[in-house]
Amino acid sequence: MGSILEVNNLRKEFKNFTLDNISFNLEPGYIMGFIGPNGAGKSTTIKLIMNLLKKNGGEIKIFGLDHIKHEKEIKDRIGFVYDENYYYEDLTIKQMKSIVSSFYSKWEDDAFNRYMNEFDLNPKSKIKTLSKGMKMKFSLAIALSHNADLIIMDEPTSGLDPVFRREILDILYNVIQDERKSIFFSTHITTDLEKIADYITFINNGEIVFSKSKDEILDTYAIVKGGTDLLDRDVRSQFIGLRETSVGFEGLTNDVNNIKKMFKEEVLIERATLEDIMVYTVRR
């Protein structure tokens, strides 16, 4: 089986922002985290994938099919979870389900009812009475009840407490046990991705910084800590990003061996988190 999602040289031009020829692939059976600061282009990319915006260039293939020519067929196999609620607030969960289920060829009432029980959702509850966490669970139940092969999520855990977030991550982990399915997960909560993601695609200012396996990224980058007396212009140039105080510095590197040769044992080298990598790269 080929890639579930292929994005090649995708370009979108706005007045004050350009998504600049971005490319990445997602294979079946994996979770890809999509990270970047606010305004980096994450939501724009997702809207282009879902054909909610018209692209200026490039190619998007989903299940090996052009995402525009085969839009109806593709969307029948996608579960989409957005960070906002777009359901009719005055309808009940049961009424809303009846409307949404009619759009999908492989809708399974048994699966939906199972998720209702698992998520402790009352089908008679009106959408407007649900908390943000419960609305997210309802969206997830909808996405998982029509046998979707690709789950696309835009900031699904934003604003949720740690208990709700962990529940949703556990659900996603169970979904991915079916190696035919994949999840594309956009978020700024990088600790969630460290728990479940296989691959990370990092976008900044409309450009891809990297798209690699999570383990490769975390093995490559490191945080270096030391005294300010060690810094000069040449040393500063060795870091992707650097934070200096009156007593010391902290910097991000993707060349640990070079740093070890340069400083011997004068610095402390620690494993970088995804948040470290994103913050230091953005701030430079």
Q: Tell me the per-residue pLDDT of 176-212, one tens digit each, with 9 for 90 and over.
A: 888 889 999 998 889 889 999 999 999 999 999 999 9
Q: Tell me the per-residue pLDDT of 147-170, one tens digit each, with 9 for 90 and over.
A: 899 999 988 777 778 888 888 888
What backbone phi and psi angles, to 5 degrees, belong to 266?
-85, -10
Determine the residue type at 168: I
Helix (H) or strand (E) holding 9: strand 5-13
Residues contacting residue 170 through CB under 8 Å, at least 6 positions apart: none
Domain map of the chain by residue range? 5-213, 221-283
| Whole-number Å distance between alpha carbons of 263 and 256 | 11
Q: Tell me the per-residue pLDDT of 46-71, one tens digit each, with 9 for 90 and over.
A: 999 999 999 999 999 999 999 999 99
> Is 242 strand, coil or helix?
strand
Across the strands, what pairs with 278? none
pTM for this model (two decimals): 0.90
159 torsion bin: left (phi>0), alpha (psi -120 to 50), beta (else): left
- Fold type of domain 5-213: Rossmann fold (3.40.50)
Is the CB of residue 79 less than 8 Å from the CB of residue 150? yes
